[in-house]
């Protein structure tokens, strides 16, 4: 069995063994979305206007919190340092781990956003735009938050530092996604912005794993 | 000659001794420039016909805002030097610049808010420039926070280096996206409009002050770098000797 | 199985950690079949030396070459087992080994019965005792083809019988031309090895 398949099989089995890790972010997303009408007003016009942006931010937070400890358990078990002996570039293995994370953790999160959309009476065509932006933008978000996770690996009292450090870098992605949603709301062309978002994700997915692998190597070198 | 000048920078002791002298020069120069520029700007430059005297805060706000951005670039240069030449002094510089950079960013935000109140009637608007400045402050905070969380100074330095490099690549993208975002939503009712050309009696003191703040920043950074060098080298013979002499 | 001849050449290796000099100008050559025990008091730098040779720590000064090649190009020749468990608690014994070694099931099952974990294939590692977990990590020695073994405290938490089994395995490895470096505080009885004593330099 090739190393790539072994790696993905392992991730699949780990996620089957720890289903809570998949459900917690979804639970978080729905909870946050339920808080909004309670804090604001049950007025459906108002909710549908800010609903899609709210769901976007809530998904972003759920993804960040979920990715914060991406490498932590492998690191403390000493499995992560074994990756260096696996005859593949570390950045490639990191990329595989990020892909697996996106498939098993981020995709389920995206798939329940329509429920959140219904709760906030988001119009159907905006809901579609929301789904598409999330699918296109989350690879970049996953890569960056993976970097946050890797940078804070060696620090025992980092808390949510990785999230805090990476959040400012999400600004362009959030702005572009919001642009798509606004255009979807007034029915104008969203394609150019989606292409730009996609380009961002592609660049992030090729470059960021290299930075992540440098951060992991750094933390392996600093631990005893 | 050759590369010797470059390798000297690798010696903390050499740096510590030289930097003391440079600091003195910078301090004097900064003091002269700032006194001249500020006095001229605050007392003698003409009143702005639109804003009255409140415009005079530009003699603080503009230099500080320039520095806030320039220092992030300086930090990125240090990160490159750290990774390419493994020079520990670059890490020391990165550490002091992060703190100074955050201080200048905060100062520019605060002075901007103070200026905004009489000019626009509000302390804060979500203008493109203000927003990117705010995000810059968060980026600086991230670098400071990351360093504080990691115990080993070498490791902390490299982690911050990675973060700074990723940040500096993102910075222009953030800036452009924030500008675009500003045009996307209904145009802000309050805008930082392009100022008409300033008379020389206004911009010459501003130029002097910009120079003065740059030199003052160099003074502060050199000072904090010397302190960090002392702390990191506290167990070496030359620092002990220095302490026992004092 | 006989390994291709391999040697490790360490020259003028020095390492400083937290302002403390751990070792200075360490030079040695490890030849095929050599078993080397790195000894020394706590904090003498045994783990640091082992991790440096395994390529996990950056070399501060000096060089390490394997068959004349720089260390970074030879990492897949190394099997490193450190202090940490090296296994994932939430996976079964078999899945853990399958990921790390890439061997097939039959091979792995044989290796597991060699380390006394027969019948535990499908147990989760978190259900095992500490000693059994260690056995699971060590089972890799029975199925990996790497000629260089770097074992940090491999005898920890093992019973007398398993210690003997491990000694026998290391002896075979050496007979096949492999190199083994290890640390331990209880010198193994049934193993012939040379010792490198690390003392506090400062």
| Structural domain contains residue B34 | no
What does pLDDT average to over chain C? 88
Whole-angstrom distance, CA of residue B208 vs CA of residue B211: 5
- Residues 6+ positions from B123 with CB-CB distance below 8 Å: B113, B114, B116, B117
What does pLDDT average to over chain B? 88
B149 contact residues in A (CB cutoff 8 A): 152, 155, 157-158, 161
A14 contact residues in C (CB cutoff 8 A): 88, 90-91
| Residue extents of the structural domains in chain A | 3-220
A194 touching B, CB under 8 A? no
**Segment C109-127, tens digit of pLDDT:** 999 999 989 889 899 999 9
Q: Tell me the sheet residues that pair with C180.
A: C35, C149
Residue B196: pLDDT band by 50, 70, 90 thresholds?
low
Contact A81 C95 (CB under 8 A): no
| Structural domain contains residue B222 | yes
What one-character-per-residue DSSP string does chain B give? Answer: -TTHHHHHTT-HHHHHHHHHHHHHHHHHHHHHHHHHHHHIIIIISPPBTTTBGGGGGHHHHHHHHHHHHHHHHHHHHHHHHHHHH--HHHHHHHHHHHHHHHHHHHHHHHHHHHHHHHHHSSS----HHHHHHHHHHHHHHHHHHHHHH-SSHHHHHHHHHHHHHHHHHHHHHHHHHHHHHHHHSSPPSS--PPPPPPPHHHHHHHHHHHHHHHHHHHHHHHHHHHHHHHHHTTTSHHHHHHHHH-
| Structural domain contains residue B163 | yes
Whole-angstrom distance, CA of residue C49 vs CA of residue A131: 52
**Segment C49-80, tens digit of pLDDT:** 999 999 998 888 889 999 889 888 888 899 99
| Structural domain contains residue B206 | no
- In percent, the amount of chain B with pLDDT more than 90 equals 56
HSE value, Cβ hemisphere, 13 Å, CA-based, for C178 = 22
Pick the range with the lowest mean pLDDT from B34-38, B233-237, C151-155: B233-237
Crossing angle for the helix pair C93-101 and C105-114, to the nearest 10 degrees: 120
pLDDT at B193: 52
Span C20-42, average pLDDT: 89
What one-character-per-residue DSSP string does A153-207 give? Answer: TT-TT-TTHHHHHHGGGGHHHHHHHHHHHHHHHTT---HHHHHHHHHHHHHHHHH
- Low pLDDT (below 50) residues in chain A: 224
**Segment A85-135, tens digit of pLDDT:** 988 899 999 999 999 999 999 999 999 999 999 999 999 989 999 999 999
A165 touching C, CB under 8 A? no
Residue B10: pLDDT band by 50, 70, 90 thresholds?
confident
| Structural domain contains residue B46 | no
Contact B138 A168 (CB under 8 A): yes
A206 touching C, CB under 8 A? no
Q: State yes or no: pLDDT of B145 exceeds 80.
A: yes
| Structural domain contains residue B203 | no
Residues of C within an 8 Å Cβ radius of A? 47-48, 55-58, 75-76, 78-80, 82-91, 95, 98-100, 102, 124, 146
CB C25 within 8 A of CB C198: no
Contacts of C among chains (3+ CB pairs under 8 A): A
Closest Cα to residue A22, out of A11, A33, A32? A11
CB B177 within 8 A of CB A197: no
Instruction: Look up the domain containing B169 and give its range.
Output: 56-190+217-245
The answer to whether the predicted template modeling score (pTM) of the entire model surpasses 0.95 is: no
Q: Among partner residues C79, C80, C90, which is closest to A14 by beta-carbon distance?
A: C90
**Segment B203-214, tens digit of pLDDT:** 889 999 999 999
Q: How far is C-alpha A144 from the chain's CA centre?
A: 8
- Residues 6+ positions from B114 with CB-CB distance below 8 Å: B57, B123
Q: Which residue has the tokens 């598409």?
A: A132
Contact A78 C85 (CB under 8 A): yes
Determine the residue of chain C that is closest to A217 in CA distance.
Answer: C56
């Amino acid at each position: 069995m090739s190393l790539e398949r072994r790696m993905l099989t392992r991730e699949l089995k780990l996620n089957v063994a720890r289903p809570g890790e998949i459900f917690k972010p979804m639970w978080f997303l729905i909870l946050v979305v339920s808080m909004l009408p309670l804090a604001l007003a049950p007025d459906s016009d108002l909710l549908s206007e800010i609903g899609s942006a709210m769901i976007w931010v809530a998904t972003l937070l759920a993804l960040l919190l979920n990715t914060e400890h991406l490498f932590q358990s492998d690191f403390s078990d000493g499995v992560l340092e074994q990756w260096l002996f696996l005859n593949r570039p570390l950045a490639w293995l990191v990329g595989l781990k990020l892909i697996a994370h996106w498939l098993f953790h981020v995709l389920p999160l995206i798939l329940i956003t329509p429920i959140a959309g219904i709760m906030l009476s988001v119009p159907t065509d905006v809901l579609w735009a929301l789904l598409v932006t999330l699918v296109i933008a989350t690879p970049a978000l996953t890569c960056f938050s993976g970097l946050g996770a890797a940078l804070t690996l060696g620090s025992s009292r980092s808390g949510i530092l990785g999230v805090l450090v990476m959040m400012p870098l999400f600004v362009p992605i959030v702005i572009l996604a919001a642009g798509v949603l606004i255009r979807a709301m007034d029915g104008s062309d969203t394609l150019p912005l989606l292409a730009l978002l996609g380009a961002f994700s592609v660049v992030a997915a090729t470059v960021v794993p290299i930075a992540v692998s440098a951060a992991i190597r750094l933390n392996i070198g600093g631990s005893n | 000659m050759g590369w010797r000048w470059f390798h000297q920078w690798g010696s903390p002791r050499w740096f510590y001794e030289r930097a003391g002298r440079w600091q003195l020069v910078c301090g004097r120069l900064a003091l002269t420039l700032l006194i001249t520029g500020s006095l001229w700007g605050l007392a003698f430059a003409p009143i702005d016909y639109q804003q009255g005297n409140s415009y005079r805060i530009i003699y603080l706000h503009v230099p500080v805002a320039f520095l806030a951005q320039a220092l992030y670039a300086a930090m990125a240069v240090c990160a490159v030097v750290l990774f390419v030449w493994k020079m520990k002094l670059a890490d020391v510089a990165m550490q002091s610049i992060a703190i100074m950079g955050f201080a200048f960013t905060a100062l520019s935000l605060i002075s901007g808010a103070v200026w905004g109140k009489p000019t626009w009637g509000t302390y804060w608007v979500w203008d493109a420039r203000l927003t990117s400045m705010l995000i810059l402050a968060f980026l600086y905070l991230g670098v400071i926070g990351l360093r504080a969380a990691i115990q080993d100074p070498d490791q902390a330095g490299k982690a911050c280096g990675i973060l700074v490099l990723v940040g500096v690549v993102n910075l222009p993208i953030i800036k452009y996206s924030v500008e675009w975002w500003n045009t996307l939503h209904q145009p802000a009712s309050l805008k930082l409009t392009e100022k008409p050309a300033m008379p020389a009696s206004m911009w010459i003191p501003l130029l002097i002050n910009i120079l003065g703040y740059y030199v003052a920043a160099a003074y502060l950074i050199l000072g904090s770098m010397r302190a960090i060098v002392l702390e990191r080298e506290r167990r070496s013979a030359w620092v002990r000797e220095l302490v026992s002499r004092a | 199985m006989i390994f291709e001849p391999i040697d490790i050449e360490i020259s003028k290796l020095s390492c400083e950690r937290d302002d403390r000099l751990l070792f200075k100008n360490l030079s040695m050559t490890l030849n095929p079949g050599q078993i080397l025990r790195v000894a020394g008091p706590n904090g003498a730098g045994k783990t640091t030396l082992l991790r440096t040779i395994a390529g996990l720590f950056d070399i501060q000064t000096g060089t390490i070459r394997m068959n004349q090649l720089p260390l970074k190009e030879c990492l897949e020749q190394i099997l490193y087992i450190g202090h940490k468990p090296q296994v994932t608690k939430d996976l079964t014994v078999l899945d853990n080994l399958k990921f790390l070694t890439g061997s097939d099931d039959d091979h792995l099952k044989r290796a597991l019965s060699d380390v006394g974990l027969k019948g535990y294939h499908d147990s989760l590692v978190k259900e095992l005792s500490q000693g059994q977990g260690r056995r699971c990590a060590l089972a890799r020695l029975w199925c990996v083809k790497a000629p260089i073994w770097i074992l940090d405290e491999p005898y920890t938490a093992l019973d007398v019988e398993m210690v003997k089994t491990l000694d026998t395995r290391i002896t075979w490895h050496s007979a096949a031309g492999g190199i083994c470096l290890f640390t331990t505080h209880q010198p193994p009885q049934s193993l012939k090895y040379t010792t490198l004593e690390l003392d506090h330099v400062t």
